[in-house]
Homo-oligomer: A and B are copies of this chain.
Amino acid sequence: MNGAQSLIRTLVDAGVDVCFANPGTSEMHFVAALDTVPEMRGVLGLFEGVVTGAADGYARIADKPAATLLHLGPGLGNGLANLHNARRAGTPIVNVIGDHATYHKRYDAPLESDIEALAGWLNGWVRHSKSTADVGADAAAAVAAAQDAPGRVATLVLPADVSWGDGGQTCAPVPPRTAKPVGETTVKAIAEILRTGEPVALLIGGRACREAGLRATSRIAAATGAKPFVETFPARLERGAGLPDIERLGYLAEQVSYQLTGIKHVIVAGTRAPVSFFAYPGKPSDLVPEGAQVHVLAEADQDVAGALADLAALVAPDTEPQLAEAARPALPSGPLTPQNWVDVIGALLPERAIIADESNTSGLLLPAATAGAPRHDVLTLTGGAIGYGLPVATGAAVAAPDRPVIGLQADGSALYTISALWTQARENLDVTTVLLNNRAYAILRMELQRVGAEGSGPKANELLDLSGPDLDFVRISEGLGVPATRATTAEELAEQFSRALAEPGPHLIDAHVPPLL
């Protein structure tokens, strides 16, 4: 057994049986070894950002890591942006980065670089496999490290000779560090704050955004009057009829200021106190209202849902959660607008859908339109590095082949990782992408005003404009193997969306929705 074979066998034994890959020469023994471990599924991406984003989307839905396979430093470099998003999401990922043979590194061949420097940027776990005999143990350690609560990016650098050498040994799975319980003292202290009668905001994130955490949060809010909020960009939020519909904290500082008006205590569970996404001249970075206190119920690496349940047992023992009723918008008509396209989604969202949301400015009105739709998961852009949507939808569909995946995708962001569509076609994934085409970096047009940039004129506006030439996403999608249609009215979007959902395999709808602003 060579090193690559021991690596893949160990991964599979630890439950990691999908590998999103964009290999090169230094990874050829890993590629060859796939044929010796039939349980491992290899999924090809044509760009590393697709690979890493898919691994993120996969794990958010499967609740276990996928592996990636990337080619040396530049390959990892191309994958970093979506790994940054995964880091912010607390997503477990096992990166396998091929490196030159150990004895080859000193020659500084063209692709030589400091891979650890890039991997270290992710603040996760990094190990360089030193010998073939150790690869199995290194792999088991990587899987455990990735799954240490709440989850992180674990990177294993695999030199080519360590991979091709004989003497590989598989290693039994290593248990990860589970989420630490929150102490009774902390829960009781938070309960006391809720009993003061002062205005409280309860901000939840991470694992609290699943059903158990949402129900406990809703009960606490209903019993105490605390205002509950979900963090601005949750990794995975369960929503829809039968679940509590808890408002997300806004993206804009102005929204958050409004949402937290009058609050005296901010209780955080599984997330951090709110900060502005960017700095703006003369505006605060810290969005906790002046004079308000922040109290931590649970850190991200703790058992957040358990802590919320304990807190609910103290302060809301007899209170039921407030659940969203089944309700959908009526099917709208007329030319597409920022309002009616979300109504189409709300009206037609299928059962058990997964929404990969990178709709950006076009999606501002989405949450209200889907609150009473059938139960679904929403995945969001946790780290702000755009180009996450199409890959994450791809990975989510690999994780849940029995569920419809809906990608809501801004045009500008789509171009970063557009070849994810090809992987969707190749794997025949049931992903419906609604491409929100407003022909601009619309969010930057807004931001140009918000930062108070003086003197901007035609040259500035040109850098935020995606027309001239217009992007024809129907042709791009078809060129990548995904059938596509164009919608300019709500009726067309509804008809095309329904048809795409009814047919197996991926589809794209180029929806011409004018900018919100």
Contact = CB atoms under 8 A, between A and B. Distances in A.
User: For this complex, into which size category does the number of interface residues on chain A fall?
Assistant: 35 or more
Given A74-B80, A121-B117, A275-B109, A418 B416 contact: no
Name, among A24, A107, A465, the residue most crowded by chain B CB atoms within 10 Å (CB to CB): A107
A385 B112 CA distance: 10
B463 A31 contact: yes
Contacts of A272: 108
Interface in A473-507: 473-481
A32 B80 contact: no
Nearest to A413: B46
Interface stretch (A59-67, A195-203, A276-284, A294-302): A276-284
A391 to B, nearest CB: 13
A380 to B, nearest CB: 11
Nearest to A411: B46
A278 B109 contact: yes
Contacts of A418: 418-419
A6 to B, nearest CB: 13
How many copies make up the complex?
A: 2
A364 interface: no
A361 interface: no
A257 to B, nearest CB: 16
Interface string A418-440: 11001001100000000000000
Contact of A100 (B279, B425, B473): B279
A278 B100 contact: yes
A468 B43 CA distance: 13
Contacts of A155: none
Interface stretch (A183-191, A343-351, A444-452): A444-452
A321 interface: no
Given A80-B74, A444-B28, A285 B110 contact: no
A459 B32 CA distance: 8
Interface stretch (A33-41, A130-138, A239-247): A33-41
Interface in A352-408: 382-385, 387
A49 B468 CA distance: 21
A336 to B, nearest CB: 20
In the A-B complex, the 9 residue pairs with the closest CB atoms: A469-B481, A475-B479, A32-B453, A77-B80, A476-B479, A101-B279, A74-B385, A32-B456, A104-B279
16 contacts: A24-B447, A28-B448, A35-B459, A77-B84, A78-B81, A88-B110, A101-B285, A103-B279, A107-B275, A107-B276, A108-B272, A109-B276, A117-B117, A418-B418, A426-B469, A475-B478
